[in-house]
Structure 1
């Protein structure tokens, strides 16, 4: 079994919440926290700061809408005007993976992940008095990896609602705010979530990003904030347990995992991480029971095939590496590093045409300029041969 830690990172949403309302924090969640393991940190965003626009922006937004309404024959409602102002699905918001921001930081450059977009849109809607719905979109999870962490990315968005008035029918119904066009989301189930749950997700996002960056004290402070808003959000509990493991407190981590399994008994992330603890402690009977479940689930993880491909490539088994890379791409054809590895395997096995095609695909999929330059250099080198 791989020694890597599987982290269910909320960018923006990993696991569907089955409740539309978030239960209040309880004493049990407080018992899972152990402040003595970490140093306190300052400067964590408060819930008010998460949804707070820069100074003067709310007033400016209201004035701009009032001027718009004064145009002759203009009856546009506030939620429709705001949707056009954001233009999220028309290029008005630039997607940046693994970047979660408060509204004020997102406002000026209109960039971030979809959690950042939801927070910004909610802050603007609050300024205009527009009602909103937060939605968990049950898309197929997308996989990423940073260092020792597997990251599973889900999706949230927001709907701007027309004003509710008795005996008044509005032609403009709810309007979806998402950097993805609405047609791309058809067929996916959606779960309405409240603001408390969204904040739990937001803080877990920040905590997971801090954990990846090695700032464990900040990550713990953010997880504490997440659990203050929801005690049933399992990804936050997983993040907390991983933090404990990094600090050699496997006893605390196991307690958290056991509590998480009471909420979601078949959560694969929790089972995987608990199995790592059981294996390290030679508790093999308990490990074997969990391992049977995990073996069936492992084949869903594209990085399982990617790791096998990387190993085959390092051992100069190029045709085998091609086969493993292709299987990884069957699960996740959006990962540029899979195509990069496939290109290397094709090149080493003498298939120059497919090597170039795979490198071009890797370059097209990458959002990172450094990777693009690296892939372009590889293409230039291929062209010279």
Structure 2
């Protein structure tokens, strides 16, 4: 009996392992892109219709003030004849309500090469990072995040003029690309182009304050440093823009709990009602146990989204 047949086969998550499908299988590790490539290859070998799926997971870390390289979450949607299922490593940080779309193989492998490029960049290998990013752009020149990442490579290599050109191309294709906008703002300020930098900074502030995940990030930062009043205020701002994300309500509940505000129980109930997976709900129940709280969740609210994902397959 093979390991697959005995269910003894495991693949471990490694964020920095953008490996070919065969190596994921042999080395038992990989990141979401590498794991997805393995799953698509295996599914298609079995005659199962499968494609890469981009999940627009809110990347709150993109709001930091450093040069921003973009990674995006990719999983697999497969249909073995009984309806579509999502195949993923883990759905702890995943919501079926996140926007998502099918990727062509060319788009997916452009992401694959971009991931390798960023790993090489982290290791200081600018030449190879540039080579892989060029391969990605050959596959999908319309992907603005690839142009942003190319700018990051040039900036770290000391090629400010080329970095500027890459960021501008990204913004010409998508004038709301916040990552490219933030990177160009920093580059412009460092280069003495203060008028441009100030304009970009104003635009960034405007976009971010309309983004609930900006406020969620601010709330998380405040909570972690023990500023529970600011955490509650920022979480409330996030909820005022998007009130169906259970994480916003749970964080507000935690901030209010730390402040001794009795309203925290209502936010916990709302978070549990909105929880979009059994994993999220069980996580909240464990937290309630740790806090010594017994809060019964109301019947879970049915949430609808035009791009809602199909049902899930779990991979342990």
TM-score, normalized by length of structure 1? 0.51
Say if 1:161 and 1:175, in contact at 8 Å, map to a contact too: yes
Instruction: Give the aligned partner of residue 191 of structure 1.
Output: 101
Look up the match of 2:21: 103
SS of the residue aligned with 1:185? coil
| Aligned equivalent of 1:156 | 74
Provide the secondary structure at the position in 2 that maps to 1:140.
coil
Secondary structure (helix, strand or coil) at the match of 2:90 reads coil
User: Are the equivalent residues in 1 in contact too, given 2:69–2:118 (CA < 8 A)?
Assistant: no
200-209 or 241-250, which deviates more: 241-250
Deviation by residue 1:271-303 (Cα, 9 ceiling, x = unmatched): 111112221222222222111012235562877
Query: Partner residue of 2:58?
Result: 140
- Whether contact under 8 Å (1:157, 1:178) holds in the other structure is yes
C-alpha contact (below 8 Å) 2:69/2:149 kept by paired residues: no
**SS of residue paired to 1:214:** coil
Secondary structure of the corresponding residue to residue 176 of structure 1: strand
Residue equivalent to 2:252: none
| Aligned residue in 2 for 1:234 | 144
Q: Which runs of 5+ in 2 are unaligned?
A: 239-246, 248-316
Task: Check if 1:210 corresponds to 2:128.
Answer: no
CA distance in structure 2 between the partners assigned to 1:244 and 1:303 by the alignment: 28
Q: Is the 8 A contact 1:238 1:257 kept in 2?
A: yes
CA distance in 2, matches of 1:228, 1:237: 11
The corresponding residue for 1:127 is: 45
Give the 3 Å change call, closer, same or farther, for CA 293–281 of structure 1 in structure 2: same
CA contact (8 A) 2:62 2:179 kept: no
Deviations 1:103-127 (A, max 9, x none): 1211034322211111111222343
Match of 1:221 in 2: 131
Q: Per-residue deviation at 1:193?
A: 1.1
Question: Which protein has the larger Cα radius of gyration, Structure 1 or Structure 2?
Answer: 1
- 1:91 and 1:329 map into 2 onto residues whose CA distance is 41
SS at match of 2:57: strand
The 2-side partners of 1:301 and 1:220 are apart by 34
Kindly report the root-mean-square deviation, in angstroms, between the aligned alpha carbons of the 2 structures.
4.1
Count of aligned residue pairs for this structure pair: 237
State how far apart, in whole Å, the 2-side matches of 1:155 and 1:303 are. Answer: 18
CA contact (8 A) 2:10 2:28 kept: yes
Q: Provide Cα deviations, 1:341-364, integer angstroms capped at 9, x if missing partner.
A: xxxxxxxxxxxxxxxxxxxxxxxx
**CA distance in 2: counterparts of 1:261 and 1:86, whole angstroms:** 50
- Contact 1:200–1:226 (8 Å) recurs in 2: yes
| Aligned-partner SS, 1:175 | strand
* Counterparts of 1:238 and 1:115, CA distance in 2: 19
Q: Kindly tell me: are residues 185 and 308 of structure 1, through their superposed partners in 2, closer, same or farther at Cα, counting changes over 3 Å? A: closer
Partners of 2:116 and 2:6 lie apart in 1 by 24
Q: Report what 2:186 is aligned to.
A: 276
Could you tell me which runs of 5 or more consecutive residues in structure 1 were left unpaired when the two chains were aligned. Answer: 1-59, 65-83, 163-169, 314-318, 335-385
Is the alpha carbon distance of 1:325 and 1:96 closer, same or farther for their aligned partners in structure 2, counting shifts above 3 Å? farther
Q: 1:151 to 1:103 in 2, by over 3 A?
A: same
SS in 1 for 2:72: strand
1:265 to 127, 150, 175: 175
User: What per-residue deviation string (whole Å, max 9, x for no partner) do you get for residues 36-74 of structure 1?
Assistant: xxxxxxxxxxxxxxxxxxxxxxxx9xxx8xxxxxxxxxx
Output one character per residue of 1:175-231: Cα deviation in whole Å (capped at 9) or x when no partner.
321123599532223211100000111111111111122111110111011011000
Partner SS for 1:239: helix
